[in-house]
Amino acid sequence: MAPEARGFLLGSAIAIKINAGCIPVRKKGKLPPTTVESSFEYEKEYGKDILELPKLVNEEYRNKRFYIIDDIYATGNTLNSISKAIKDLGGIVVGEGVIMNIVELNDNIEVFSLIDVNEE
């Protein structure tokens, strides 16, 4: 799973490397209405947003394994909201990762990241 839009670049590159699929999580209205499996609102550090999970081709989310990748972990609400939506559909979240974790904004939550940014 890769949230719009920078997550697409990371998710697709990693999926190619590990020979897995990549599912884009889009902002509301970007997917054709007939292809939306789930829509959910979440709080970002600077306002609210709505994301949509697409329907899987000839499959369901139930019992499928998902890894969520994004560029920045600030408040954690994007990853947490996607994770909840996947679990609500019966999917299994096996992990989450980001390029950069902004520690000051999320009370030092541990998430796999290449870079941890601290004020110290």
For residue 1, how many other CB atoms are within 10 A of its CB?
Answer: 23
Contacts of 40 (CB under 8 A, 6+ apart): 50, 51, 52, 81, 84, 85
DSSP 55-115: PPTT--STT-EEEEEEEEESSSHHHHHHHHHHHHTT-EEEEEEEEEEEGGGTTT---EEEE
**What's the CA gap between 86 and 6, in Å, rounded?**
20
Domain segments of the chain: what residues?
2-117
Tens digit of pLDDT per residue, the chain (120 long)? Answer: 889 888 888 888 888 988 888 899 999 999 888 899 999 999 887 889 999 999 998 889 999 999 999 999 888 899 999 999 999 999 999 989 998 988 888 876 778 888 878 766
- Which letter does DSSP use for residue 30 in this model? S
pLDDT at 120: 60
CATH number for region 2-117: 3.40.50.2020
Q: Which amino acid is at 85?
A: A
**What's the CA gap between 75 and 60, in Å, rounded?**
29
